[in-house]
Amino acid sequence: MPPDQSGMTFVDLVFPAFLFMVGMAIPFSINKRISEGDSVTAILKRILIRSAGLLVLGILMVNMGALNSEASGINKQLWIILVFMSVIAVWNSYPNKTGKSKYLISSLRTAGIIALIVLAFIYRGGTGENIHWLKTSWWGILGLIGWAYLAASVLYLIFRTCPSVLTALMFLFPMVYIAEKTDLFAGIYAVNNSLLIGMQVSSHASITISGILLSYIITSSKFSLLRKKITAMLFYSLLLLSAGILLNPLYGINKNLATPAWCFYSAFLCVIIFMIIYLVVDYKKYIKWSSFLTPAGVNPLLAYILPSIFYAFITLSGLSFYSELGDGIIGITRSLLFTLFILFITQVLTKLNIKLHL
């Protein structure tokens, strides 16, 4: 959907679905840590480290397109490839090894960190007199997920036994958007503007918390029977839909602006989609049909960065991937084939023990 219009297409659901799934995973992740005896401090430290990693990746990725090869002293596509190779070295889940292998793994991670620091240091973007260093014109997809994950995880850690509080927060976060739009936050706007957090992060956190609440429904003993579970999901989805309808007149539906209506409509659709998948996969046990998606589910971060690596290699070789295969049915076919290609490469690399984990 064009950014100046109110509305959304299925493409505008991709990013909020990421946020929603992150939210669904948070209770499972944190509850597992607690059951294994991790302290709140240890869990909070892990949350902060993971959030910082997402922010770093987000900033690097959002600045890639603006890199000036001449000012940076390195070919743009080569810089991109080296960044992602370094990311793989740092965040790969290496097999548990001892002795020399342990030192090799430590050396690879250290080399990756040093490489990222050097690549960030030499980065220069822009053109002419507008040369700049890395900047947060926005945080990138991963960075925005990082902020939402940080907010939602900390709140879940605090209020995990009070789903009613989390429900209230899900509805209160979009109020931050409305308050900022009406200049109620003018006194702290300078700080908020410099960090580029606030309206969007509050909206994204709301979507992430909506995913947390769905996890409550599917795991709660109150909804052990399928009929009760589905009824609860339907009621929850209608609640989200109603919120979207009520807030739609304020700022419309806009993904780029992260409007409240867009948040609740997206959460509503995610609940409906999950309910269908739950009935097909978990209840009816029709699983084989989705096996081709397993690589992306097992190794999502690698699947996410592989297209950028592929495009960088293609551009570096002087070939064009878009010129003749961009639009219409041909473009859709290309996209489907490319998706299958990325899933295949992800599966191959996963079998070679290249599995990224923040």
Integer Cα distance of 251 and 75 in angstroms: 42
Which residues share a beta bridge with 150? none
Max Cα-Cα span within the chain: 65
CB of 280 closer than 8 Å to CB of 328: no
Q: Is the dihedral of CA 231, 233, 234, 238 positive or negative?
A: positive
Amino acid 204 reads: H
Instruction: Output DSSP code: residue 322.
Output: S
Residue 194's pLDDT is: 45
Integer Cα distance of 109 and 190 in angstroms: 37
Residue closest to 211 by CA, chosen among 286, 153, 295: 153
Whole-model pTM: value is 0.91
The CA-atom distances, in angstroms, between 18 and each of 12, 81, 222, 258, 325 are 11, 25, 27, 14, 27
Residue 328's pLDDT is: 81
Residue 195's pLDDT is: 44
Written as six digits, the tokens of 35 are 């059951």
Count CB-CB contacts under 10 A for residue 269: 20
Residue closest to 207 by CA, chosen among 148, 251, 275, 288: 148
- pLDDT tens per residue across all 358 residues of the chain: 888 899 999 889 999 999 999 999 999 999 999 999 999 999 999 999 999 999 999 999 999 999 999 999 999 999 999 999 999 999 999 887 666 788 889 999 999 999 999 999 999 999 888 899 998 778 889 999 999 999 999 999 999 999 999 999 999 998 888 887 776 665 555 545 444 455 678 899 999 999 999 999 999 989 989 999 999 999 999 999 999 999 999 899 999 889 999 999 999 999 999 999 999 999 999 999 888 889 899 999 999 999 999 999 998 988 766 656 667 888 888 889 999 999 999 999 999 999 998 8
Helices within the chain (DSSP H only):
14-35, 40-64, 69-72, 76-91, 100-122, 140-159, 163-181, 189-195, 199-219, 226-251, 260-277, 294-298, 300-316, 328-351
Residue 237's pLDDT is: 98
Residue 262's pLDDT is: 96
The SS3 call for residue 187 is: helix
Integer Cα distance of 138 and 141 in angstroms: 9
| b/e map 68-79, b = 16+ CB within 10 Å | beeebebbbbeb
Residue closest to 144 by CA, chosen among 55, 254, 12, 48: 55
Residue closest to 256 by CA, chosen among 317, 187, 321, 204: 204
Integer Cα distance of 239 and 217 in angstroms: 14
The SS3 call for residue 258 is: coil
